[in-house]
A and B are shown apart, each in its own frame.
Chain A
Amino acid sequence: MKLLYKYFLCFCLCLTMITYSAKAEDGSAYDASHDVQLSQEKAVQIVTACDGRKKVIVEGCNEGDVMPEQKARKVAELLMQLMEFCEEEITAKLPKTEMFIQLSINGMPYVTVRDAEEIPLILVHGGKSHTEREKKVWAAEMDRMINEGYALFHNPSLGKNGISCDMCHPDASNTHPETYPKYQTQMNKAVLLRDMINWCIENPMEGEKLAEDDSKMKAVEAYILSARAGKKLDPGKH
């Protein structure tokens, strides 16, 4: 089945290469102005796949020229790889030397890969923009972590004397995560936010300190950082 599909693609490609070996200027399926500029300076030939969404700008070939067979095969292979890879619009630039390939996805800036094998590495999101569903899932996951921290912060469970963080730090005020790392004179060393969190757990709240990689510690940090996001840094004040 896959083989058949490849043959079909190849057939498409050959067709387009014959029928649509266009001038750079009017092969205006992509509109990046530097491409036009480039195409005016250099000899290029633009080859478009039959889906109309993948193009290769072949440098060193004049429009109308018949490409050397090896080059033509390389271009066809590249187009196929791009089509298999994703549905998005991709423009590839193939320099005369064929030392590398430049790719632009959906009009984004070009990125350079050494050969077609590297395409998946560069286009990390598979070339797709994030779906609303994905964004919702990610936001929910982040909120879950922050909310867990909020709950711990507003609950005496981290301590042993019935006192909770929010009693002294409403809305995470006075926690100043933006000031860390810093030297704590009372501890005689430079510390991180989590050290001060642990200090407040052990002292005003008379609890047992959390391991640094404890998910509770991470959640409390997440809440503090999110509640104080965007607060101005006031060096020397806190």
Chain B
Amino acid sequence: MNTKHKEKNEQVQYSALAGVSRREFLKTTMKAGVFIASSDYLLNSSENLVQLVAMKQGKEEFLFAYISDSHLLARGKEHRFARALIKAVEDVNAMEPQPDFVFYGGDLAQLGLREELLLGKDIIAPLKPKVYMMVGEHDWYYDMGEAWKEFFGKPTYSFDHKGVHFIVLNSVIVEDYWSETKMSPMERMLFMAQLDNPKGRPFTVGEEQRKWLKEDLSRVGKGTPIVVFSHSPLYKYYKPWNFWTDDAEEVQKLLAPFKSVTVIHGHTHQVLTNKIKNIVFHGILSTAWPWPYAPEGIPKLTIQMDRADPFNQFDGTGWGMAGITSRGKVNKTYNLWDRNPMVVSYEKLLSGKEHVAGHSY
């Protein structure tokens, strides 16, 4: 890490730990399932947390970073959402060692406009590692993905990296609600952009992509670790806010034969952890704003992040990292700006009985 970042990080760590004895801190950290390799942790806190985590599930082989849900408006780089994305890009560029690649989790734009997408493209251009893009509903429903595809390519694809098979899906497909009512493109977009729209349609991966997925997976060995990226969670959390994928079970079924599967999804703007059979699901943070937890359906394994402080734009928001072990397991880090990072290691998930009842919203 460069020094600027190092200093800042140390400051954050220490201020957050004030009042907690070192022993206590280690104890709680251990309890949370994070295994600290060296007791010099505090002296060395600028080191990458994930690299300090020793795992039974294999040595950590490589690391990628994620940035997501920036919801840019066509209002230049001074707008608060643009500033937040710029901050994330700077943070990732300051990582040392650099992650193998950066994954963007969708909703780069707020209203799917070319200007918004171009602004986003411009802001993430300085990212040093290779960037993989995924589409979100806010990028899509103004022109049905035309501009996004022009700038970033196919929304559905797969690639292999150091023995892991990565799959990127477009999980924000909904049935046509706009033709019959003759909505204009902007009306269609605004209808989709409203999270609490009582008439909203549930997201799907859709038959076409499921077919593609089946074919793609047919070429992959059952022992090969798989990481799937989707914008919506590939399970059913809370339908009224579309924290939901309607054909989730069918997608899960296609992934069932594989030994190690991790789904990493955007859209929910919160720390979110779930496990269904062989599949582990991780949410990712938004750079723009945090969402409250839904009134019901929160997966048991989730240790909820605290309520955000409305007086601080950078509370409850941020970016993150994922470390992949030699066995293809994922250790997930949420880099909450202005708070301690939250690490959800695979170890922790396996022992994950410590459901913490969160706030009611």
A171 x B240 contact (CB < 8 A): yes
Which of A163, A206, A237 is the most central at the interface, judged by chain B CB atoms within 10 Å of its CB?
A: A163
Give complex CA distance A206, B83 in Å.
15
The listed residue (A162, A166, A173, A234) touching B73 by CB distance below 8 A is A162
Is B210 positioned at the interface, with any CB of A under 8 Å from its CB? no
| Partner among A163, A167, A173, A204 whose Cβ is within 8 Å of the Cβ of B361 | A173
Which of these binds chain A: B165-173, B256-264, B288-296, B321-329?
Answer: B288-296
Can you list, as one digit per residue, whether each of B295-320 has a CB less than 8 Å from chain A (1) or not (0)? 10000000000010111010000000
Measured in the bound complex, the distance between the Cα atoms of B78 and A162 in whole Å is 13
**Interface residue? A81 (CB, 8 A):** no
| Cβ distance A179 to chain B, nearest Cβ, rounded Å | 12
B73 touches A161 (CB 8 A): yes
Contacting residues of chain A (200-223) with chain B, CB-CB under 8 angstroms = 200, 203-204, 206
Beta-carbon contact of A203 and B311 below 8 Å: yes
B241 contacts which of A170, A174, A203 (Cβ < 8 Å)?
A170
| Contact (Cβ within 8 A) A203 B359 | no
Q: In the complex, A171 Cα to B79 Cα: how many Å?
A: 25
Establish whether residues B313 and A237, one from each chain, have CB atoms under 8 Å apart when the complex forms. Answer: no
Closest partner residue, chain B, to A187 (CB atom): B311
Q: Which of B79, B289, B290, B310 contacts A203 (CB 8 A)?
A: B310
Report if A168 contacts B (CB, 8 A): yes
Q: How large is the interface on A (under 10, 10 to 19, 20 to 34, 35 or more residues)?
A: 20 to 34
Residues of chain B with a CB closer than 8 A to A186's CB: 309, 311
Q: A232: CB under 8 A from chain B?
A: yes
Contact A237:B359 (CB < 8 A) given known A170-B196, A170-B241: yes
Size of chain B's interface in residues, with CB distance under 8 A? 24
* Residues 160-196 of A contacting B (Cβ, < 8 Å): 161-163, 166-171, 173-174, 186
The smallest beta-carbon distance between B281 and chain A, in angstroms, is 21
Residues in B with CB closer than 8 Å to A237 are 359-360
Question: In the complex, are the beta carbons of A232 and B360 less than 8 A apart?
Answer: yes
A125 CB within 8 Å of chain B: no
Specify which of A167, A174, A204 is in contact with B313 (CB 8 Å cutoff).
A204
Given the known A-B contacts A171-B196, A232-B360, A234-B360, are A199 and B292 also in contact in the complex, defined by CB atoms under 8 Å?
Answer: no
A167 touches B195 (CB 8 A): yes
Question: Quick check: B310 and A167 within 8 Å, CB to CB?
Answer: no
Interface of A (DSSP majority class): loop
Residues of chain A within 8 A (CB-CB) of B75 are 161-162
Residues of B within 8 A of A170 (CB): 195-196, 241, 291-292
A114 to B221, CA, bound (A): 93
Give the residues in chain A near B79, CB-CB below 8 Å. Answer: 161-162
Contact of A166 with B110 at beta-carbon distance under 8 Å, contacts A161-B73, A237-B359 already known: no
- Which of B71, B194, B289, B292 meets A173, CB within 8 Å? B292
Residues in chain A near residue B275, CB distance under 8 A: none
Most chain B C-beta atoms within 10 Å of own C-beta, residue among A171, A199, A238:
A171
B289 touches A167 (CB 8 A): yes
Contacts from B to A (Cβ < 8 Å): 71, 73, 75, 79-80, 110, 194-196, 240-241, 289-292, 295, 307, 309-311, 313, 359-361
Q: Which residue numbers of A lie inside 8 Å of B, CB to CB?
A: 154, 161-163, 166-171, 173-174, 186, 199-200, 203-204, 206, 232, 234, 237-238
Additional 20 contacts, C-beta under 8 A, given A161-B73, A168-B291, A186-B311: A154-B194, A162-B73, A166-B195, A167-B195, A168-B290, A169-B292, A171-B196, A171-B240, A171-B241, A173-B292, A173-B295, A174-B292, A174-B361, A199-B310, A204-B80, A204-B289, A234-B359, A234-B360, A238-B307, A238-B359
